[in-house]
Amino acid sequence: MRETRSFDQDQTPRPPAAAGFFSGVHREIWDDADSLLHTKPKEPQRMSESSSRQIVIFDTTLRDGEQSPGASMNLYEKMEVAQALVELGVDVIEAGFPIASPGDFNAVREIAKTVRGSVICGLARCRPEDIDRAWEAVKYAEQPRIHVFLATSAIHREHKLKMDKAEIVQRAVEGVKRAVDYCPDVEFSPEDAVRTEIDFLCQVVEAAIDVGATTVNIPDTVGYATPAHMRRVIEILRNRVPNIDRAVISVHCHNDLGMAVANSLAAVEAGAGQVECTVNGIGERAGNCSLEEIVMALKTRNDFYHAHTRVVSQRIVPTSRLVATVTGIQVQRNKAIVGQNAFAHEAGIHQDGMLKERTTYEIMRPEDVGLTMSDLVLGKHSGRAALADRAKALGYRLTGEQLNLVFDEFKELADKKKEIYDGDIAALIEQQIHGVSELWSLESYQVTSGTGKVPEVTLSVRRGSEVLSTHKVCGDGPVDAVFLAIEELTGISVVCRDFRVHSVTVGKDAQGEVMVQLEYQGELYRGHGVSTDSIEASAKAFLNAINRIASVGNGSQQPSKIR
Ligand SMILES: [Zn+2]
């Protein structure tokens, strides 16, 4: 799936096996810092009780998020996510790592050319060819940014880069200078900053700002920090680096210990002005600081942090759904803010309190994150206007034609299912707007199977005005039989690499959502299908992926790594 990640910014270094290694490093990092903590801390940015500082939201869903295993997006999907991020109100979009592959380069360049309203950033290692390539891709943006990174911790210096401290500083300075020659907005990241000796970190940061870095990002690349630790790092930088006021301090936290959001908040408290995060917290390994959590924490606790963001919180849930759909990484039920249970108050004692006064158990309102109250259930008598209204409330803007198509599907669903929830409507809309042009569609199927019996399938697909049918006795089960029949009719033979079913809403008549990943000629293609019948949903998902394969064959889509 990913072939070019050997120089990934976030790749975990292989730590030596010796016990106590990290504690040794830790001591070395902090030895000379302790004395500093007894010096008078720099006055935090002065503000009145009512004033609130704006925190820059730097979204890296398309770069770090896309590096989650299996989360690769094609060009069209990346453009769609970028547009959604603008509507969400993020300040900076890290669109990719242009030198990583031609696909990454194209995606960053296309986003830079077409997406307006946010800064578009491209990542580069501290190498001339990387920086040149990043600029080639982002230069079309309304507001371009180059993000240069170089590892600074002892473990990376010794094992990965084989460079001493002086060489690191020199390389950082050269890299930032080269980027500044292209672009006034340059971010510098000392990779693995959190495990870098604090003195040396201060030295590198000062040197980068000196030659023009406008943002200095402190990554916790391996997810090693804790909130108190992160707070101290930022405080020391603010105290010790003489030119620190010339740059925005940023943090980039990973969630290996489950503290990415807490660490980012601690950094904000200590004076950081930018937080790097991803939608649904996706990213390398355990992921990144989750955008929805940091944004809602700052919004809900503005009384404490006196900080806010430009994010339109009502766009959070629709954006979360979009990212889950295009990456295939579903959100866990109990995930804060965007999980299915995040606003469900089921325990009797809580329900009683909620009915008397919502704020007894509710610190945020579901509508503030774009979740409409789901007690308004649609059914077969609901009209087009009611559907349009609900689609709008869910954050979708449909064209008249799209609305008509979704309405037809809605009516069909209402015949099978009495109560139609928001999750059902979202699934229908997403199937419609993320669908590919349908060369083949499912006309009908019938399958019989049972214990110790080879399934028997009759299946028809439509291609334009033509209907093709087959009858087979084959497969390991009904789903396998349906897949084999579709392969025969379409003449496209694939290997199924992933198959997942989950229910969209609640109840026995809930719709099943199927995601498949098919391998065809060495490339992976994703498919998605929804139905109250899980075998039909499987057939639709399989055909959806087959249609993607066919659309590439027709040259109607740019090839990229995964579709
Ligand atoms: Zn990262």
Q: Which DSSP category does 150 fall into?
A: E
CA of 526 to the centre of ligand 1 (A): 25
CA of 447 to the centre of ligand 1 (A): 47
Return the closest-CA partner of residue 264 out of 309, 319, 212, 303. Answer: 309
Specify the residue for token string 């897949």: 483
For residue range 435-452, list pLDDT tens digits in order: 666 789 999 999 999 999
CA of 255 to the centre of ligand 1 (A): 10
How many helical (H) and strand (E) elements, i.e. helices and strands, does the chain have?
Answer: 19, 16
Q: Please name the amino acid found at residue 199.
A: D
Distance CA 230, CA 219 (A): 10
Bridge partner list, 500: 515
Q: Which DSSP category does 359 fall into?
A: G
Distance CA 331, CA 275 (A): 22
CA of 60 to the centre of ligand 1 (A): 8
pLDDT of residue 428: 84
CA of 252 to the centre of ligand 1 (A): 6
CA of 93 to the centre of ligand 1 (A): 14
Give the CB-side neighbour count of residue 419, counting CA atoms within 13 A. Answer: 14
Distance CA 507, CA 512 (A): 11
CA of 220 to the centre of ligand 1 (A): 8
CA of 197 to the centre of ligand 1 (A): 20
CA of 283 to the centre of ligand 1 (A): 7
CA of 229 to the centre of ligand 1 (A): 18
CA of 410 to the centre of ligand 1 (A): 40
CA of 34 to the centre of ligand 1 (A): 28
312 — alpha (psi -120 to 50), left (phi > 0) or beta? beta
Distance CA 309, CA 54 (A): 5
412: part of which helix (H) or strand (E)? Answer: helix 400-416
CA of 457 to the centre of ligand 1 (A): 47
CA of 288 to the centre of ligand 1 (A): 7
Q: Please name the amino acid found at residue 25.
A: V
CA of 125 to the centre of ligand 1 (A): 13
CA of 64 to the centre of ligand 1 (A): 5
**What is each CA distance from 2 to 8, 46, 69, 149, 561, in whole angstroms?**
11, 47, 8, 21, 7
Neighbours of ion ligand 1 (CB under 5 A): 10, 64
Distance CA 143, CA 145 (A): 7
485: part of which helix (H) or strand (E)? Answer: helix 478-490
Chain-centroid distance, C-alpha 35? 40
CA of 117 to the centre of ligand 1 (A): 24
pLDDT of residue 270: 98
With H, G, I as helix, E, B as strand and everything else as coil, classify residue 386.
helix
- Give the chain's residues under pLDDT 50: 1-28, 31-41, 43-49, 375, 554-563
CA of 559 to the centre of ligand 1 (A): 26
Distance CA 31, CA 13 (A): 23
For residue range 109-133, list pLDDT tens digits in order: 999 999 999 999 999 999 999 999 9
CA of 475 to the centre of ligand 1 (A): 43
pLDDT of residue 6: 39
pTM of structure: 0.77
Q: Are strands 274-277 and 248-253 parallel, antiparallel or unpaired?
A: parallel
CB 63 within 8 A of CB 233: no
CA of 161 to the centre of ligand 1 (A): 18
CA of 231 to the centre of ligand 1 (A): 19
Return the closest-CA partner of residue 67 out of 329, 291, 265, 261. Answer: 329
CA of 284 to the centre of ligand 1 (A): 6
CA of 144 to the centre of ligand 1 (A): 20
